Structure 1
Amino acid sequence: MKVLAAMSGGVDSAVAAARAAEAGHEVVGVHMALSKNRDQRRTGSRGCCTVEDASDARRAADRIGIPYYVWDLSDDFHDLVVEDFLSEYAAGRTPNPCVRCNERIKFASLMERATLLGFDAVCTGHYASIRTDGPSGTPSLHRSRNMAKDQSYVLAVMGPEAVGRSLFPLGEYETKDEVREEARKRGLGVSTKPDSYDICFVADGDTRGFLERNLGADPGEILDDSGAVIGTHRGTHGFTIGQRKGLGIQQPAADGAPRYVVDIDPSSRQVVVGAAELLSTRELIATDVVSFEPLSAGREVHAQIRAHGEATPARILEVPAASAEASEPSADASESSAATADPAPSPSLRVGLDTPIRGVAPGQTLVLYDGDRVIAAATLERRA
């Protein structure tokens, strides 16, 4: 099989490429240059697509014995990931740029180019597994055995077609130390290279500063949940639902309890803060559903809303018409649909949680699991 191996310059992608070559595939390595600043340097574990990263990827490819190229995808990355990040924050939403990068760059732009060049699959160093033990017998996306590094959440938006044309050789490793040891045994110089973290295009880690530099200051008011003005801010883009620190409030709550961001309204430039209880919800509403298999109301699942958060036991309450199974709805679905008089099918996915969770923000990604298998991903619109 002809395989295009995405090589970031880190240890994970280097070992993945080596494993693919060892398996007998015809492997070509490619480094995606995503930063418009070609002279950018790494700062510890921060930064992406730096000069050092490209050089490390080239050395790894040479060691493995595979051809290596650098592809300039900086325009795609800026337009599809960075601009999306800025526009979502400007709209009072909380995006996950890693989800967008995987969806639009690594498994859209990259795979499109790979297809045009005649490659059969794309190989990456993500921690996830692809198996064929689902109900349909087709390739399905599963959690990695290394739960501390599991990336199935950020990969879920890629959809079943891309899964069928992907290789994730690291999914069966139980620890990162095992991956580093394999890199060392193979003579890959990146075996001790530190992991990257945070938002890769915010190299200094100052997300609020990055947003203000790009979106500008847009002062407004901070209100408590009674509507009283208790402070001011420089822009709603500096806040996310559930945020506790950095609110800039000098006036304490009457009961002395911590206050959290519970609502953001960019149109009025108002940020509302309140008690933690106001953040709790037991129902999620999402759109832009990507299904790996048919969904049905009443089905028990686990729901996850953060890349490294815990999955919560839940039940699907309502599904978009295109995602529904052909079978008759369950009793639970009938009860929920009876509560609305509108006969038109809903474009939304509604999920009820067994226990309430806090900090649900529009723009976050909702991923549904059946055991360790991904069954759907969607974009959260609001909490009910």
Structure 2
Amino acid sequence: MRKKVVVGMSGGVDSSVCAYLLKEQGYEVIGMTMQIWEKDMSSEGSCCGLSAVEDARRVCEMIDIPHYVVNFRQDFKTRVIDYFIDEYKNGKTPNPCIACNRYVKWESMLKKALMIGADYIATGHYASVINIENRYQLKRSKSLKKDQTYALYNLTQNQLEKTIMPLGDYTKEEIRQIAAKIGLLVANKPDSQEICFVPDDNYSKYIEDATGEVAVEGSFVNKAGEVLGKHKGIINYTIGQRKGLGITFGKPVFVTKIDATSNTVTLGDSEDLFATVIYAKDVNWMALAEFTEPFVAAAKIRYSHEPAECLVEMESGLLKCTFVQAQRAPTPGQAIVLYDGDLVIGGGTIVD
């Protein structure tokens, strides 16, 4: 009997070719698209808008597989949007794609897939799932510039066991060539660049509109606590920010700390942004069943970051990473992801 796989269909070229490849490999493929909004709030290229649903339907029709649209609105609001808003209001810089991957694209979709008798779910992410000594791990993509393991570090063993990612051995160019060869209308569709539910990239306006609350002004301070001027509300800032501060000093200054309790934003020089030791909470281990002893790994502290060598320890329940070279602008709320070569060891959420 053929194995049944549900493919998360975003309407983009990656998930479309993912479905095609799996069908060619002999799987019984079902396309599933998340419905997460009451109305279309997306821009062209977004992974979640109503136009994306229609693109996904057309692709499924062309490659002759069934297509279902499933309502995940409440899950998306609770797990992604509410989390996104709360983190910014608390002076953090969230990564909603990581939350969406773990709790919506995997947890909610996998539950629905298993309910209809599927054996696996699959996505068009640039990564691979492998099993080493009974631990499911993620392997970085053949195309490192497209690698998406950073945003997937939080997946559980149960989720990975039921996951297929066929695009890990391809480059983006190869995927577009396959799409063009089989005549998919989305072959040249642009990639989604921004957060899907904030298409204009104006996070503070989105938060104010969503909550009905206007950001409260507060004080810019220096590292000695001296007041330098007024800021527009902490949701307008992130660690390392230089532009758009609305204050000048005749030299470049950067956001070095955001304190929601005191409603202050600390400004400093570029060198004030560097840290040798970074702590993280909510650790998810992939390669390890549990932490037993310190080890050396390479770590990324943001999606586009080049992995840097560090000593990994646990201290008072937190992940502690001590880097050989100081890292610029570790940002509370973002992820730190550990690698052993091309394999993901685990990761957590950076704290102050």
Class of the TM-score when normalised by the shorter of the 2 chains: over 0.9
1:241 corresponding residue in structure 2: 239
Alpha-carbon distance between aligned partners in 2 of 1:297 and 1:94, rounded to the nearest angstrom = 30
C-alpha separation between the residues in 2 aligned to 1:204 and 1:287? Answer: 31
- In structure 2, what is the equivalent of residue 286 of structure 1? 280
TM-score for the superposition, normalised by structure 2:
0.94
Do 1:221 and 1:270's aligned partners in 2 also have CA atoms closer than 8 Å? Answer: yes
- Over the residues paired in the alignment, what is the CA RMSD in angstroms? 1.5
Q: Does 1:51 align with 2:53?
A: no
- Equivalent residue number for residue 153 of structure 1: 150
Residue 56 of structure 1 deviates from its aligned partner by 0.7
Partners in 1 of 2:242 and 2:323 — Cα distance?
24
Matched, 1:258 2:227: no
Question: 1:4 maps to which residue?
Answer: 6
**How far apart, CA to CA, are the structure 1 residues paired with 2:206 and 2:191?**
22
Residues 303-318 of structure 1 mapped to structure 2, 5 A cutoff: 303-318=299-314
What TM-score, normalized to structure 1?
Answer: 0.87
Give the letter aligned to residue 280 of structure 1: F
State the AA in 1 paired with 2:168.
G
Q: Return 5+ residue gaps in structure 1 as ranges.
A: 320-345
Please name the residue that 1:356 is paired with.
Answer: 326
1:368 aligns with 2:349: no
SS of residue matched to 1:119? coil
Listed as ranges, the matches of 1:1-384 within 5 Å are 1-37=3-39, 39-40=40-41, 42-45=42-45, 47-132=46-131, 134=132, 136-173=133-170, 175-214=171-210, 215-250=213-248, 252=249, 256-292=250-286, 293=288, 294-318=290-314, 346-382=316-352
- Aligned-partner Cα distance in 1 for 2:135–2:264: 48
Distance in 2 (CA, whole Å) between partners of 1:104 and 1:281 is 31
Deviation at 1:211, TM superposition (A): 2.7
Q: Give 1:296 deviation, angstroms.
A: 3.9
- Higher radius of gyration, 1 or 2: 1
Q: CA deviation at 1:160?
A: 2.3
Cα distance in 2 for partners of 1:198, 1:370 equals: 29
The DSSP-based 3-state class of the residue aligned with 2:351 is strand
One-letter code of the match for 1:277? E
Specify the SS of the correspondent of 2:338. strand
**Per-residue Cα deviation, 1:175-207 (whole angstroms, up to 9, x for no partner):** 211101101111211101111111110012222
* Residue-pair matches, total: 346
* Post-superposition offset of 1:228: 2.4
Once the two structures are TM-superposed, the CA of residue 48 in structure 1 deviates from its matched residue by: 4.1
SS of residue matched to 1:191: coil
CA displacement 1:71-105 (0-9 Å, x = unmatched): 11112111110110000010111110110110110
Displacement of 1:362 after TM fit?
Answer: 1.4
Hey, what's the Cα distance between the residues in 1 that align with 2:301 and 2:106?
21
- Contact kept in structure 2, 1:288 and 1:379, CA below 8 Å: yes
CA contact (8 A) 1:34 1:48 kept: no
Q: 1:209 and 1:118 mapped to 2: Cα distance?
A: 42
Q: How far did 1:64 drift?
A: 1.2
> Matched residues, percent identical?
39
Amino acid at match of 1:381: V
Question: Do the aligned residues in 1 keep the contact of 2:229 with 2:247 (CA within 8 Å)?
Answer: yes
* TM superposition outliers: structure 1 runs of 4+ over 6 Å: none
Which residue of the partner structure matches residue 343 of structure 1? none
Does the Cα contact within 8 Å between 1:103 and 1:155 map onto a contact in 2?
yes
Seen in structure 2, the aligned counterparts of structure 1 residues 28 and 44 have a Cα distance that, compared at 3 Å, is closer
Task: Name the CA distance, whole Å, in 2 between partners of 1:297 and 1:275.
Answer: 36
**Higher alpha-carbon deviation: 223-232 or 164-173:** 223-232
